[in-house]
A = this chain, B = another copy of it.
Amino acid sequence: MRRKLSVHLLPDLCPPEVLRGGTTVVIDVLRASSTIVTALQNGASAVSPCGSPEEAESIRDQYPAGQVVLGGERGGVRIEGFDLGNSPAEYTAEAVGKRLLAFTTTNGTRALLRSLSSRSILIGCFLNLEAIVQRLQDGGADLHLVCAGTDGVVTGEDVLFAGATVSALVTDQPESWVQNDSAQLASRLWSSVVAGATDPASAVHDFLRGTRGGQNLLTLGYDSDICLCSQISTTAVVPEYDLQSGELQNTGGAV
């Protein structure tokens, strides 16, 4: 039985009924996915994705003081009154360790909250590429790789990560998958970007600096975040959304 392997280039291109029963990976490489993975890697107890700053604040108010960290951005910039913005560099063990992160971003969080009809929802980025691929190889569910994009526009960095994932899955088990056209598009993008590169992370970094998301970050002065988000398979963390608690928890390898 072959499994469907679909890339959706934007959240709006995959209606909820398509995701039903499948495993979805939400991809916002610059930067929500990378920041969530980093926060869990650095010991945050969980991440609660929120649709609005107000929702994040109301979660904080339900816990004793100091138990919840508020993080996120609007327009790439930290939200007023929040503890942290959306740079993975801020999410150190000191900043988030043993605390719940209430997190809201413009595109990544919304992409996740649009995917709730899936049977399981994971968060993927280059930092946990290998761990995500290993997880996806298990089980028989159809797979959906959902690119967050930016304000309804396709962004190259998300498609590139989707392509890296497709490429790894298909190389490993070529006969197991039925890809949609966007999956083929994405995996050819990945092959093209890393072709002949001695250091894939460096090739990813160069590509990310040229995408819409990368250009936005350069404009905002976050050059170093592009470098951080280009590192490949540095952690075994797999953030998975728990439908009951509404939180992302690490169900991957030990931190």
Residues of A within 8 A of B (CB): 9-10, 12-13, 152-156, 159, 180-182, 184-185, 188-189, 191-193, 210-212
Beta-carbon contact of A181 and B152 below 8 Å:
no
Picked from B153, B155, B181, B191, the residue with its CB within 8 Å of the CB of A192 is: B191
Which B residues are CB-close (under 8 A) to A191? 192
Picked from B12, B189, B212, the residue with its CB within 8 Å of the CB of A189 is: B189
Chain B residue at smallest Cβ distance from A211: B181
Instruction: List 13 additional A-B contacts (Cβ < 8 Å) besides A10-B13, A154-B185, A191-B192.
Output: A12-B12, A13-B152, A154-B181, A154-B182, A155-B181, A156-B181, A156-B184, A159-B185, A185-B185, A188-B188, A188-B189, A188-B193, A192-B192
**How far apart are the CA atoms of A191 and B13 in the complex, in Å?**
26
Nearest-Cβ distance from residue A8 to partner chain B, whole angstroms: 9
Known: A159-B185, A189-B185, A191-B192. A180 touches B9 (CB 8 A): no
Chain B residue at smallest Cβ distance from A187: B192
**How far apart are the CA atoms of A193 and B153 in the complex, in Å?**
25
**How far apart are the CA atoms of A182 and B152 in the complex, in Å?**
12
**How far apart are the CA atoms of A110 and B252 in the complex, in Å?**
46
